Every structure is written in structure tokens, then in C-alpha cells.
Amino acid sequence: MEWLLFSFLFALAVAMDCFVLSVTDGLTISDLNEKKWRPFFIAAVFGGFQGLFPLVGFLLGEALSSVIDKYDHWIALGLLVVIGGKMLFDGIHALVKPEESSPRKFSIKTILLQGVADSIDAFAIGVTIRTNIQASANWQIYVCLGIIALCSFGLSLVGLVAGKGINKLLRGKYEIANIIGGAVLITLGIIICLEGTGVITWAF
């Protein structure tokens, strides 16, 4: 059952990016709770992509995954800097010219882009899972990916609630929320890029 323990530990490590991203969304999306399905949609996108991208990497095999691994972190950095940069700009603009600004609204397109940006570096995880699990059967690999997806889904929901709580502390000042959220997304993109280039590594 060593592979199962590895799966849960790996899932927690991978899902932390989803948690940070969802805190940002909970903090900045003003109409998140207008539709009950929206938080679950966000969590499903983040969790689904975290399970899907490693699966694709696993199916593609080590050779193709290693090629993708050379560029995925740069793509993630670019997407998160664009999304976070716009939030940062909107927040600063709202402080300078509040009459011309409005809160951030829920956008399926933006959520999908966030999901891709956060998960695209997970292609090579499929190869890592194959190596570390040492599975006796392929179904164990799929169970591991399912655990990753579910853990990411759950932590994303927790992050959305936490983000809404922080928003209440800010008393709905969306311009401040956008500045904080934008800075967090840009920082997340930089961390993903530094991990991908090997500048920083984690013990796990």
C-alpha cells in the first residue's frame, strides 16, 4: 500500500497551487456566489486539469513528456502574468479613477485559462508517478490521478471560502482585492517557472 500513501502525499503537494489560485478567485470575483454552481465549476476545472494533464503525460510517455517539460513552465508563467497583470492594473486603475472602474466578474474563459496555467506543468508528473509508485497494475496509476484530482477539487473549494473570508475583512474593497490577487498570481507564475527551470526545488 506504499503507492497509496505516495498518492495522497503527492496529491497534497500538487493541490497547493490550486488552493492559492482559488483563494485569489474567492477574494476577487465579486459575483462568485450569485450562482451556486460557480464555486463548484471553478473547483472542478482546477481539480480536473490537475488530474488530466498528468494522465496525458503518462499516456504520451517519458520522451514526449520531457520535451513538453522544457516549455510548460514558461507557458504557465506567461498566462499567469497576463491574468495577474490585468488584475493588478485594474486594481491600481480603480484606486486612481474609481468612477471608471468596476469589480471583477466571473468569467468561464478566465477560469479555464487559470486551470491550464496552473496545471500545464503537470505533464511530466505522469512519468514521475510511473517511476515512484512502482505500480503492479495500471489501475493504481489511475487511482493516484483520481486522488490528485479530488484533493485539488477539495482544496480549491476551501480556498474559495477562504478568499471570500479575506474579502469580507477588506470590506468589499475590490480594488485592493484585485491588487493582492494580481500580485499572488504573478508570484505563483514565477514560482512555477523557477520550479520548472530547477532554480528552486522542494524536498518532496
Decide if 113 contacts 184 (C-beta within 8 A): no
What's the chain's Rg over C-alpha atoms? 18
Could you state, in order of their start, the residue ranges of all structural domains in the chain? Answer: 2-196
Decide if 159 contacts 23 (C-beta within 8 A): yes
How many residues does the structure list for the chain?
204
Mind listing the pLDDT tens digit for each residue in 19-57? 999 999 999 998 988 899 999 999 999 999 998 988 887
Mind listing the pLDDT tens digit for each residue in 66-119? 667 677 778 888 888 988 898 888 888 888 877 666 788 999 999 999 999 888
204 band by pLDDT with thresholds 50, 70 and 90: very low
Helix (H, G, I), strand (E, B) or coil at 29: strand
Separation between Cα atoms, residue 138 and residue 66, nearest integer Å: 21
